[in-house]
Structure 1
Amino acid sequence: MAQDRRPAGRSVRRTGGERKPREERWAQLLDVATQVFYEKGYDGASLQDIADRLGMLKGSLYYYIQSKEDLLFEVISDVHREGYAVVRTAAEPPGDPLDRLERTIRAHVVHECRHLVPTAVFLHELASLPADRRESVLGSGHVYQGVFRDLVAEAQQQGLVRPEVDPRIAGLSILGSTNWVYRWFSADGPSTPEQIGEQLAAMAIHGVATPEAVRSRVPVGRAAS
């Protein structure tokens, strides 16, 4: 899904010859800021650090943002928007709710492993934003975790999840455990992102599904062994 990476509220009135370079510069600014925040932390990073990395004057950054907080907000928003698009797409039909939950967990883990730096900045620095700006990123209904919660609830309504399971707690548990992957995943490690996603999805499904639903998901050849 293509994302509009313009800074919020900026004018889009540009000539055809200058629009693309400025949009590319904005995308580069987000990428560099993400890397600097990752390396130095939000408190330790400065706009001068980011300008130096870009090879531009610090004053030129103010064409795009008004403060370092604005830049963090844009980085956090961009990471959240891209990640949410991944899980939202994975959660759509076809498949029953458990199939879609499994697919969504796997997609989330693979995306996280392949975008470790942005994920780390999002999870480490979200609390650096004022509460109102955090809320504007996450949404009043915490829509990201809501994808997992709603799939569990839908599966429960269809008799696929045990009745004692609280969908809200299950959704938080699934999202929390999968988010933690960024702390220990290594591209040089023994497991690929796909393998990790498959394992975590299987554990999550077994943790909430009814025994009947679990048995029905086991391949026939394996069930007979």
Structure 2
Amino acid sequence: MKNKIKQTSILLFEKKGFTETSIQDIVGELGVTKGTFYYYFSSKEQLLMDIHISYIDELLERQKAIRQEHHSNRTKLERLIALLIADIANHGPSGKVFFREMRHLDRDNAVKVKKKREHFRKNLEEIISEGIAKNEFRSGLEPEMVAFAILGVTNWSYQWFNPLGKISADQLARIYSDLILHGIA
């Protein structure tokens, strides 16, 4: 039931927004009582925090697996780009809630989520730095800025990318990888 509440809430938050979705909307959609909601979550904000932590923890685990592979840093970077785009394709509503609704977390919870997001970015920076050191990427790059650029390009895709459209998630990941690794000139 806890997972059903989360999944229903994600869809409602995506559609109506966090502030416009009431606990009554959530339980009404599920056909349960508010008591059922409060059995699993102390508040709507705690539910939002649970959604955020689940989302980023899963991404961090999958990133860790890619980082531990015995591949070049270039391949790891390509796989991370593919991971982020596939995640949007497979978990679009969760991504929208993750990126759009964080502003509704209380200060302490927002700090916890931001630390995890920063950890993801730092891991990406490390791959870029290692790639520069091994001459897989050109020298003179600023790993922090490149990491921010990669995350900006990939994460913004949740706003417009339609996995059922003319470009698949795999194709978009290849387009982004090519753009990031080769530029447009």
TM-score by length of 2: 0.92
Rounded to whole Å, the distance in 2 between the matches of 1:116 and 1:140 is 20
2:54 corresponding residue in structure 1: 78
Alpha-carbon RMSD across the aligned residues, in angstroms, is 1.6
Matched, 1:64 2:40: yes
TM-score by length of 1: 0.76
2:177 corresponding residue in structure 1: 201
- Of residues 113, 124, 129, the one that matches 1:137 is 113
Rounded to whole Å, the distance in 1 between the matches of 2:116 and 2:11 is 28
Aligned residues: 183
Conserved? CA contact 2:8–2:30, under 8 Å: yes
Q: Displacement of 1:140 after TM fit?
A: 6.4
Matched, 1:114 2:70: no
Rounded to whole Å, the distance in 2 between the matches of 1:58 and 1:153 is 50
Q: Displacement of 1:42 after TM fit?
A: 0.7
Rounded to whole Å, the distance in 2 between the matches of 1:77 and 1:36 is 18
Conserved? CA contact 1:33–1:75, under 8 Å: no
Rounded to whole Å, the distance in 1 between the matches of 2:23 and 2:116 is 30
Matched, 1:54 2:54: no
**Structure 2: runs of 5+ lacking an equivalent:** none
Q: Deviation per CA, 1:85-110, whole angstroms, max 9, x where unpaired? A: 22222232221111111111112211
1:183 corresponding residue in structure 2: 159
**CA, structure 1 residues 147+132, in 2 after alignment: closer, same or farther (shift >3 Å)?**
same
SS of the counterpart of 2:163?
A: coil
SS of the counterpart of 1:142?
A: helix
Rounded to whole Å, the distance in 2 between the matches of 1:57 and 1:64 is 12
Q: Deviation per CA, 1:56-77, whole angstroms, max 9, x where unpaired? A: 1112211111111111111111
**Structure 1: runs of 5+ lacking an equivalent:** 1-24, 208-225
Conserved? CA contact 2:150–2:180, under 8 Å: yes
Structure with larger RCO (C-alpha < 8 A, sep 6+): 2
Conserved? CA contact 2:56–2:117, under 8 Å: no
Letter in 2 for 1:32: T
2:13 corresponding residue in structure 1: 37
SS of the counterpart of 2:17?
A: helix
SS of the counterpart of 1:189?
A: coil
Q: Deviation per CA, 1:140-163, whole angstroms, max 9, x where unpaired? A: 671111222111011111122222
SS of the counterpart of 1:43?
A: coil
Conserved? CA contact 1:138–1:144, under 8 Å: no
Rounded to whole Å, the distance in 2 between the matches of 1:165 and 1:127 is 32
Rounded to whole Å, the distance in 1 between the matches of 2:19 and 2:90 is 25
